[in-house]
């Protein structure tokens, strides 16, 4: 099974130019930069929220990593690493739940990951596919 890192096509040039996915701290919730993944195979509900769009309107892409990759931390371990209080963690879980997401399916790493080791999918016509599959 794969876990998926979501982003939009707006960032694709920079990702392919660097050759890797890099941890960031754009959410500002964590002390250290993190690279987030979701085990939801259909769609990570928080992704569209972060993109500021509805799922049907997203020009989303996702990169897949094997779920047993040693660099991944689960949600609770990530919160512990980031020294998030139980109250902060529960607040984030409540928001995620309201948006249809499940933090138990979230994983993160502090390491960059080479894109040539990842699967790559595009969201087109209401489904995920591998390039030519989407026509």
Mean pLDDT score of the chain? 87
70 contacts 117 by C-beta, under 8 angstroms: no
pLDDT at residue 10 tops 90: no
55 contacts 107 by C-beta, under 8 angstroms: no
Cβ contacts of residue 103 below 8 Å, gap of 6+? 75, 92, 93, 96
Decide which of 3.30.60, 3.20.170, 3.40.50, 3.10.620 is the CATH code for 2-134: 3.20.170
Whole-Å CA distances, 110 to 33, 88, 97, 121: 6, 20, 24, 23
Question: How confident is residue 52, by pLDDT bands cut at 50, 70 and 90?
Answer: low
C-beta neighbour count of 27 within 10 angstroms: 11
Query: Any idea where the domains of the chain sit in the sequence?
Result: 2-134
- Give the pLDDT confidence score for residue 34 in this predicted structure: 92
- The pTM for the full model equals 0.89
- pLDDT tens track for 117-134: 999 999 888 788 886 554
């Amino acid at each position: 099974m794969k876990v998926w890192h979501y982003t939009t096509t707006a960032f694709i040039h920079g990702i392919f130019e660097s050759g890797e996915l890099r941890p960031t701290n754009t959410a500002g919730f964590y002390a250290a930069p993190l690279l987030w993944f979701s085990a939801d195979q259909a769609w990570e509900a928080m992704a569209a929220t972060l993109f500021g769009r509805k799922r049907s309107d997203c020009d989303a892409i996702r990169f897949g990593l094997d779920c047993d990759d040693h660099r991944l931390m689960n949600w609770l371990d990530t919160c512990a690493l980031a020294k998030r209080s139980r109250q902060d963690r529960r607040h984030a879980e409540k928001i995620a739940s309201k948006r249809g997401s499940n933090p138990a399916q979230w994983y993160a790493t502090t390491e960059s990951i080479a894109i040539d080791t990842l699967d790559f999918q595009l969201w087109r016509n209401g489904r995920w596919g591998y390039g030519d599959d989407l026509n």
